[in-house]
């Protein structure tokens, strides 16, 4: 089976450069081996559930790509089924560039980055903006997050690929830093108490 993402990413121009740079033979074999990777696996579902942000790419009518960061509580990007992702579209700066792009071109791209574990996931697909659907809004709203929801974006997965960890800097969120240092702070307090007790003897 051919890997689906190569059918989308390896355009004739890309293949020509691969030929020029000497990697075409390797990738020609790569294209025809391995899984299709066009449905979400349990590993990906688990990965997405931990993400507190991702980058969403759309294409404008003048051909320029547009990249937007979307953030929220872990799990705000929801897996609806093995081929569909969805998330609430919170009211922001009301430029509506992503929504406008999707109204004319449904091609879209998700880029999910886990800096701590140096993992990145690329997902190709098609997206659409849905306005005024109370059922979807209820399904995709984030508990405890009171931002105004203007609509939802549904993303149909066509292909995905894990990217290699090369050149990814290791970074931690404030919550991850607290998870690391809290046991250390607790141990330091215990040792300080022991020293105070020894000083009294």
Average pLDDT, the chain: 91
What are the tens digits of pLDDT across the range 33-85?
878 899 999 999 999 999 999 999 999 999 999 999 998 888 899 999 999 99
DSSP helix/strand/coil, 125: strand
DSSP class per residue in 50-84? H-SEEEEEEE-TTS-EEEEEEE-STT-SEEEETTE
- pLDDT of amino acid 91: 84
Strand partners, 69: 55
If you search the block for the tokens 């449905």, which residue do you land on? 39
Confidence category of residue 18, pLDDT binned at 50, 70, 90: very high
What are the tens digits of pLDDT across the range 81-110?
999 999 999 888 889 999 999 999 999 999
Question: What's the rounded Cα separation, in Å, for the pair 61 and 103?
Answer: 10
Confidence category of residue 31, pLDDT binned at 50, 70, 90: confident
- pLDDT of amino acid 172: 83
What is the spatial order of strands in the sheet that 107-114 belongs to? 65-71, 53-59, 107-114, 119-130, 149-163, 84-90, 78-81
């Amino acid at each position: 089976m051919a890997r689906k993402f190569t059918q989308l990413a390896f355009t004739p121009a890309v293949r020509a450069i691969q030929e020029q740079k000497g990697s075409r033979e390797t990738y020609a074999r790569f294209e025809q081996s391995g899984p299709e990777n066009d449905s979400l696996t349990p590993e990906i579902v688990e990965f997405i559930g931990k993400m507190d942000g991702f980058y969403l790419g759309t294409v404008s009518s003048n051909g320029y790509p547009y990249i937007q960061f979307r953030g929220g509580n872990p799990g705000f990007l929801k897996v609806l089924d093995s081929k569909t992702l969805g998330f609430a579209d919170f009211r922001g700066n009301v430029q509506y560039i992503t929504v406008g792009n999707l109204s004319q071109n449904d091609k879209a791209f998700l880029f999910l980055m886990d800096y701590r574990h140096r993992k990145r996931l690329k997902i190709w697909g098609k997206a659409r903006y849905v306005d005024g659907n109370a059922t979807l809004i209820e399904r995709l709203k984030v508990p405890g997050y009171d931002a105004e929801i203007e609509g939802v974006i549904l993303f149909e997965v066509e292909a995905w690929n894990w990217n290699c960890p090369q050149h990814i800097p290791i970074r931690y969120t404030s919550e991850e830093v607290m998870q690391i240092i809290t046991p250390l702070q607790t141990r330091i307090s215990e040792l300080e108490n022991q020293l105070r007790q020894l000083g009294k003897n």
